[in-house]
């Protein structure tokens, strides 16, 4: 469904959010350990999140990654997915046609529309804050 990069990106953002809410910056090393992902690759994905203004980075000693408090509440899952995988997952044609719309639908266009719409809504209605809260309270998990 999502690329590995996107899976790591989502989990990393959640972990950063959890720690930022407790005023702790975290390093790629810490992040990759907590979300069980390759460190250098995760660092690349973090760069993408920084460029897309989803995560803040602080270079140098005592640096690390963090997310502003307001952003934790306002950032949607869709923004993270978009920053890494683009919007093809909930916008593109299910069978890869270049043009696929009501006038020129692929064979699964109508049936797919429902699923894609459900996915889009889910991504747009889920905030980093909600996901981080469940991790903090031990209701959900980032690895294993």
Partner DNA sequence: TTTATTTCGGATAAATTTATCCTATTTATA
Partner DNA sequence: TATAAATAGGATAAATTTATCCGAAATAAA
- The one of DNA, a copy of itself, none whose footprint includes residue 74, by CB under 5 to 8 A per kind, is none
Min dist. Cβ of residue 37 to DNA (A): 6
What lies within 8 Å, CB to CB, of 121 at 6+ separation is none
Min dist. Cβ of residue 24 to DNA (A): 11
Query: Which residues of this protein are in contact with a copy of itself, per CB under 8 A?
Result: 1-2, 4, 7, 10-11, 14, 77, 89, 92, 94-99, 104-109, 111-112, 114-115, 118-119, 122, 126, 131, 134-135, 139-144
CB 81 within 8 A of CB 119: no
Max CA separation in the chain (angstroms): 57
Can you read off the two tokens belonging to residue 144?
Answer: 């294993």
Toward a copy of itself, which CB reaches closer, 41 or 112? 112
Toward a copy of itself, which CB reaches closer, 61 or 99? 99
- Report CA 10 to chain centroid distance, whole Å: 3
Min dist. Cβ of residue 98 to DNA (A): 13
Write down the residue that tokens 């093809």 correspond to: 88
Fill in the DSSP letter of residue 58.
E
Write down the residue that tokens 């809410």 correspond to: 21
Toward DNA, which CB reaches closer, 96 or 138? 96
Write down the residue that tokens 């790629």 correspond to: 28
Min dist. Cβ of residue 60 to a copy of itself (A): 31
């Amino acid at each position: 469904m999502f690329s590995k990069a996107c899976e790591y990106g989502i989990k990393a953002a959640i972990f950063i959010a959890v720690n930022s809410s407790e005023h702790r910056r975290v390093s790629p090393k810490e992040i990759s350990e907590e979300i069980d992902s390759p460190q250098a690759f995760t660092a690349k994905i973090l760069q993408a999140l920084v460029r897309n203004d989803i995560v803040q980075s602080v270079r140098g000693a005592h640096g690390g990654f963090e997310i502003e408090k307001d952003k934790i509440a306002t950032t949607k899952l869709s923004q993270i997915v978009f920053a890494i995988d683009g919007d093809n997952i909930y916008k593109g044609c299910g069978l890869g046609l270049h043009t696929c719309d009501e006038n020129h639908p692929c064979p699964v266009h109508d049936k797919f529309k429902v699923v894609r719409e459900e996915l889009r809504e889910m991504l747009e209605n889920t905030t980093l804050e909600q996901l981080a809260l469940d991790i903090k309270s031990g209701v959900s998990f980032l690895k294993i």
